[in-house]
Amino acid sequence: MGDDVMATIGMAPSETTAAGTSAQTFAAPPVAEPGDEPELVVTPAQRSFLDALTESGVTPSSELSALSIGSYVCQARAANQSDQVVWDFVLPMVRGDVRDSYGESVAAPAGQVNAETADYIRIATHTLC
């Protein structure tokens, strides 16, 4: 990169945009206070998925994380991946989410991770995909 590019990093857009150009400026994103989480807007199918996870005893670290895992299941299903490939793809995500839901760096019991992985795949396949 040239020196002119590096010189503009960290500068306000008004300082880096030449006068008379049509460069578009954007407002800064809203800043959430620590502990505040913006409300997640979900579709009815996504709400059904989240509710079914709760009913089956799965406690994701966040709704967004659960929806992300469900989305990966649907993508793998849409790509006609085998059940084993779907399992191998989703298992590490569920393992990480189970660990995050505990808030500890301790590994969750394998039986729990396997059960929750099966629940994620089954529920996502029936409600999201």
pLDDT, tens only, 49-106: 999 999 999 999 999 999 999 999 999 999 999 999 999 999 999 999 988 877 666 7
Q: Are 49 and 125 in contact (CB under 8 A)?
A: no
Q: Using CA atoms, how far apart are residues 99 and 124, in angstroms rounded to an integer?
A: 20
Amino acid 32: pLDDT = 60
The Cβ of residue 120 has, within 10 Å, a number of other Cβ atoms equal to: 26
**What is the three-class DSSP state of 62?**
coil
Pick the residue with more confidence: 106 or 5?
Answer: 106
Amino acid 40: pLDDT = 79
Of the listed ranges 1-5, 44-48, 92-96, the least confidently predicted one is 1-5
The Cβ of residue 115 has, within 10 Å, a number of other Cβ atoms equal to: 16
Torsion sign across C-alpha atoms 27, 31, 51, 107: positive
Does pLDDT of 116 surpass 90? yes
Q: What is the pLDDT of residues 20-32, one digit of tens each?
A: 666 666 666 666 6
Amino acid 36: pLDDT = 66
